[in-house]
Amino acid sequence: MSTTIKVSVDDKVGTLELDNFAKRNALGAATVDEMLHALRAFERQGVRAVVLRTAELRDVWSAGHDIDELPVRGVDPLPFADPLEELLRAVRGYPGAVIAMVHGTVWGGACDLVLNCDLVVGDETAAFAVTPARLGLPYSASGIQYFLARLPLNVVNELMMTADLIPAERAYAVGILNRLVSGDRLLDSTYDLARKVRSRSGDSIRAYKLQATTFVRAVALSAQDSQWINQLRHDVYSGDDYAEGISAFREKRPPDFA
């Protein structure tokens, strides 16, 4: 029995709603597991377009990775096997369109989730913050690669270096949002788009999407550079900033990165 998401299907358009506002729809392992099951069920049912949204339209869409589940210092917080990393791969690999419908603020790994969706529709409350620099955390190499495929470097720099919220107007201007609509048009605009995609050739869209995500991953990297990337990340998650970032969140105080 799902406890943190709601799932429905209507004429090969699926809906997956985050429904755990008490924890600000944080993407913990249990929630991610339910979402992975939902995507697999959608695929079995031939769902051609998935709308990813929240059950309640509140001021927060999702608070991102469940910080309570992040490991302590000295352990990679975002390994390949991390549940949220697995969800991002599942969204990129879904053989149809995944469309994020955003009302409210989107934090950290939830930003990564939205930007791994194929299309993003938001209203004037939609805002996006990528937060490893708030937590003293080394972002995942695949996450950085995908952000760089999606947005200009200076915009990724702004997200990663400030960890500030980018508001809806600017999110639309820089390409985070495909559509920026008024709140009263958000549902209709999102499902009009989903039904449009659903009406097109599923075979053609499946082949396009899986090719596109394969091309995005196709980056030549020497073994030496791979090792260097791992070392860069190891030095951060073994360092003082990461310990301070996690402690500060748990103690509900601003971090002090001396």
Residues binding ligand LCV (CB under 6 A): 23-24, 26, 60, 63-68, 107-109, 130-132, 134-135, 137, 139
Of 115 and 186, nearer to ligand LCV (C-beta) is 115
Catalytic residue among 94, 139, 146, 191: 139
User: 64, 110 in Cβ contact below 8 A?
Assistant: yes
Catalytic residue among 109, 122, 143, 245: 109
Catalytic residue among 28, 64, 65, 122: 65
CB of 129 to ligand LCV, least distance (A): 7
Confirm whether 109 is a catalytic residue. yes
- Greatest Cα-to-Cα distance within the chain, rounded to the nearest angstrom: 55
CB of 21 to ligand LCV, least distance (A): 9
Of 210 and 243, nearer to ligand LCV (C-beta) is 243
Sorted by sequence, the CB contacts under 8 Å of residue 63 that are 6+ apart come out as 23, 24, 25, 26, 107, 108, 110
- Terminal-to-terminal C-alpha distance of the chain: 46
Of 83 and 132, nearer to ligand LCV (C-beta) is 132
CB of 58 to ligand LCV, least distance (A): 8
User: 126, 61 in Cβ contact below 8 A?
Assistant: yes
Confirm whether 237 is a catalytic residue. no
CB of 250 to ligand LCV, least distance (A): 8
Q: Could you give the strand order of the β-sheet that contains 5-10, starting from the edge strand earlier in sequence?
A: 5-10, 13-18, 49-54, 97-102, 119-122, 179-180
Q: Using CB atoms, what's the residue nearest to ligand LCV? A: 108
- Separation CA 67–CA 250 (nearest Å): 8
- Separation CA 104–CA 125 (nearest Å): 5
> How large is the angle between the packed helices 153-162 and 141-150, nearest 10 degrees?
130
Confirm whether 139 is a catalytic residue. yes
- Separation CA 93–CA 40 (nearest Å): 11
CB of 64 to ligand LCV, least distance (A): 3
Of 1 and 22, nearer to ligand LCV (C-beta) is 22
The closest alpha carbon to 46, from 194, 202, 199, belongs to 202
User: 241, 146 in Cβ contact below 8 A?
Assistant: no
Question: Any idea which residues carry the catalytic annotation?
Answer: 65, 109, 139
